[in-house]
């Protein structure tokens, strides 16, 4: 598990490209039979990925957590962005098709991941945050996720937002989680942009074609920076930063938040004319 500490707004304003990438961009989180984890000190969130091929993979504990097991003091949200897979947790087995989600609460001692077809393995994206209450394991298929159609082809951001973990969906202590799918011909996400100083956010980009990229915009609204993102990479977004992107083709991404406010609509909108 890689550990990353926070950076101030002033520090970020002086960073060069490679420094920005080292601070806020992960590598490819979907590595065969490896649990890839990045622990960020922004609200102590962990982002990660698991791609099991040919065997069960355990959600490994890490000495940095100083816990008896990974979820001793944590909760986790999981969305599958690959082939059909299984998750074993809390004495039960859950089958996840592509874009199905699962929440596993604090205190669950063992979690295992498995693909049902080695030729088309599952790709499980993980988002974990500290938890103070035990919530039960909950499953949400893509069809059960709360959809919201936003944007338009005229502004190149025709997209559908699916909410999985939120105040009216799967319950959690502080995780809020879902995904956005851009329709063909649309490339912009989350525009107009916003910030929410009461919680951090992560973006995990998937279904990005091999020869395409997403330009993710971050930073203070009046002093933006950008990161070039490939498939299965994630962005760590500080609470003071905007988080928006534009791709060279349409794509999808999982968004996840944790912090003080549990309400999805807690956003401080930024007028496009004010972005620099």
Written as one string, the DSSP assignment of 100-164 is: -EEEE-TT---EEEEES-TTS---EEEEEEE-SS----EEE-TTTSEEEEE--GGGT--EEEEEE
Q: How far apart are CA 271 and CA 220, in angstroms?
A: 13
**Can you tell me the distance from the alpha carbon of 256 to that of 241, in angstroms, rounded to the nearest whole number?**
15
Q: Is 90 left (phi over 0), alpha (psi -120 to 50) or beta?
A: left
Mean pLDDT of the chain: 96
pLDDT, tens only, 181-198: 999 999 999 988 999 999
Architecture in CATH of 2-274: Sandwich (2.60)
Note the pLDDT tens digit of each residue in 82-137: 999 999 999 999 999 999 999 999 999 999 999 999 999 999 999 999 999 999 99
Check residue 195 and give its pLDDT. Answer: 93
What global pTM score does this model have?
0.96
3-class DSSP assignment, residue 80: strand
Domain ranges within the chain, ordered by starting residue = 2-274
């Amino acid at each position: 598990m890689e550990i990353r500490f926070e950076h101030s707004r002033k520090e970020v304003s002086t960073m060069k490209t490679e420094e920005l990438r080292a601070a806020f961009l992960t590598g490819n989180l979907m590595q065969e039979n490896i649990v890839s984890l990045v622990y960020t000190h922004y609200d102590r969130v962990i982002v990660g990925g698991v791609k099991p091929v040919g065997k069960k993979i355990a959600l490994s504990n890490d000495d940095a957590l100083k816990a008896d097991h990974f979820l001793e003091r944590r909760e986790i949200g999981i969305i599958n962005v690959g082939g059909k897979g299984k998750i074993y947790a809390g004495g039960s087995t859950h089958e996840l098709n592509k874009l199905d989600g699962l929440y596993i609460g604090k205190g669950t001692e063992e979690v295992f991941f498995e693909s049902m077809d080695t030729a088309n393995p599952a790709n499980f994206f993980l988002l974990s945050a500290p938890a103070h209450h035990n919530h039960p394991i909950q499953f949400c298929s893509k069809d059960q996720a709360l959809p919201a159609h936003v944007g338009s082809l005229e502004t190149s951001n025709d997209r559908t937002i699916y909410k999985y973990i939120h105040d009216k969906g799967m319950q959690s202590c502080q995780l809020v989680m879902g995904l956005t799918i851009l329709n063909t011909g649309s490339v912009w996400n989350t525009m107009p942009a916003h910030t929410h100083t009461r919680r951090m956010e992560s973006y995990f980009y998937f279904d990005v074609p091999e020869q395409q990229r997403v330009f993710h915009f971050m930073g203070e609204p009046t002093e933006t920076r950008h990161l070039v993102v490939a498939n299965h990479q994630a962005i760590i977004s500080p609470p003071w930063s905007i988080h928006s992107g534009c791709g060279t083709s349409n794509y999808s991404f999982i968004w996840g938040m944790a912090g003080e406010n549990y309400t999805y609509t807690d956003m401080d909108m930024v007028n496009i004319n004010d972005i620099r």
